Amino acid sequence: MSLVFAGVCSHAPGITSRAHLADPEVKDAVHNAMKRLGEQLRAARPDAVIVVAAEHFANFFMNNMPSFAIGMADAYEGPIEDPAWLGIARREIPGDAALSLRLVTEVMQTVDVAYAEEWKFDHGIMVPLHFLTPDFTTKIIPVNINCQGPPLAPLHRAWSFGEALRRACDKAPERIAIIGTGGISHWPATPDSGKVNAAWDRAFMARWARNDKAAMLSYTDAETYADGGQGGFEIRTFIAVAAAARGQGRVQFCEPVPIFAVSCTTATMEVI
Amino acid sequence: MSLYAMQKFFFHLNREPKVQQRYREDRASLLAEYALDDEERDAIDRGDIGKLYVLGCNGQLLMHFAPLLGLSWPEYLQAMRDGVQQHGPVRRGIYAMTTGVDDKVAGL
């Protein structure tokens, strides 16, 4: 088949772990936006969902850090965090090793990509899945772009990776959805946690929604760090999804929520 | 100074239940396996989040350590602010604190 759905969303652990500390109306608005994205995703009837996430030293460390990695197992486990802390029970999540093998084989025609036959999901994947595929029975293909430990992959390489994922999806008979998780501006897990640059977020999401490749790729890491914090490096996941979908995006929700430490965001993009 | 070794320890601690068990029951011999300096070993041994932040530990690694110590999120954030107040700015790693030690940017 091909790519049947594309979207992006936030994955901040606070969305679930600190739900009880948020204003109930704000919490409900964020959770409902995430659930709506899930309804749209499931309406596309995907056989598998590629989750392009930024992971956080759950599987990959600086002894051997791939810029791009794809999971290649029939089952994964998560969350790696304390389930009580994250607010999401630990469980097994189904994968599809055979599909992963075909995707990896095609992607590596143009992009050097690592593959992993084991993978523990952290909040970067578990928080989105908690809302998007809440029964956790949908097959997931985990994908990571290193947004964590510099040197980071240049943005144009994240774009090329998204293009390669799309080409691989087009060659697969399955119906495949793609979700990018991460960003936009945030200073996670530090005393600055809660700081958000909403103007920078809106500007980036406008570029993303126009699928303006040149504008999206024009950020330097230094600018991103200064304006969007270390969490801003995760725009790579959104950029990869834009490259894969090729269409125009629609931002459904983008509101700064300091207690969740990010501008909570959901958006879809037309697949063309 | 061995920021890499310190972060590698937390990578193992976060991932592996057996390492978490050894942290509770066999801490000295566990920490001896890592090339830590005395300041780092002491901060880990005492669960000193503030000092570990100042020493440059990545927050995505440190964030896991707080619930292991029984710290709530507000306590975790406050511990880092207290660390900066007590020990000065972050010395290494990717972070520079950009808010004041009295700021409550998350509202906590």
What are the tens digits of pLDDT across the range A7-16? 999 999 999 9
Helix A221-228 to helix A198-209 angle, to the nearest 10 degrees? 130
Q: What is the pLDDT of residues A213-222, one digit of tens each?
A: 999 999 999 9
Q: Which of A 38-77 lie inside 8 A of B, CB atoms? A: 56-58, 61-63
Partners of residue A58 in chain B, C-beta under 8 Å:
14-15
pLDDT tops 90 at residue B108: no
Q: Which of A 206-245 lie inside 8 A of B, CB atoms? A: 229-230
pLDDT at B1: 55
pLDDT at A66: 97
A78: nearest CA partner in chain B: B15
Averaged confidence pLDDT in chain A: 97
Q: Are B63 and A189 in contact (CB under 8 A)?
A: yes
pLDDT tops 70 at residue A42: yes
pTM for the model stands at: 0.97
Looking at the complex, report in whole angstroms how far the Cα of residue B43 sits from the nearest Cα belonging to chain A. 17
Distances (CA, A) of A236 to A208, A242, B15: 11, 10, 25
Place of tokens 């300041």: B39
Instruction: Find which of B49, B72, B105, B108 to mutate to test the A interface (most A CBs within 10 Å of its CB).
Output: B105
Of B4, B14, B106, the CB nearest to A80: B14
d(CA A130, CA A93): 11
Looking at the complex, report in whole angstroms how far the Cα of residue A68 sits from the nearest Cα belonging to chain B. 19
Q: What is the pLDDT of residues A52-71, one digit of tens each?
A: 999 999 999 999 999 999 99
For residue A121, which of A143, A150, A100 has the smallest C-alpha distance?
A143
Q: Are A105 and A143 in contact (CB under 8 A)?
A: no
Mean pLDDT in residue range A82-104: 97
Task: Tally Cβ neighbours within 10 Å of residue A173.
Answer: 10
3-state secondary structure of A10: coil
Q: Is A201 on the interface with B (CB under 8 A)?
A: no
Mean pLDDT in residue range A128-144: 98
Q: Is B5 on the interface with A (CB under 8 A)?
A: no
Of B4, B101, B107, the CB nearest to A259: B107
Distances (CA, A) of B88 to A230, B25, B50, B92, B105: 21, 32, 10, 12, 20
Looking at the complex, report in whole angstroms how far the Cα of residue A203 sits from the nearest Cα belonging to chain B. 22
Q: What is the pLDDT of residues B51-84, one digit of tens each?
A: 999 999 999 999 999 999 999 999 999 999 999 9
Contact A189 B94 (CB under 8 A): no
Q: Are A77 and A90 in contact (CB under 8 A)?
A: yes
ipTM: 0.94
Contact B105 A194 (CB under 8 A): yes
d(CA A184, CA A170): 28
pLDDT at A135: 97
Q: Is B8 on the interface with A (CB under 8 A)?
A: yes
Q: Is B60 on the interface with A (CB under 8 A)?
A: yes
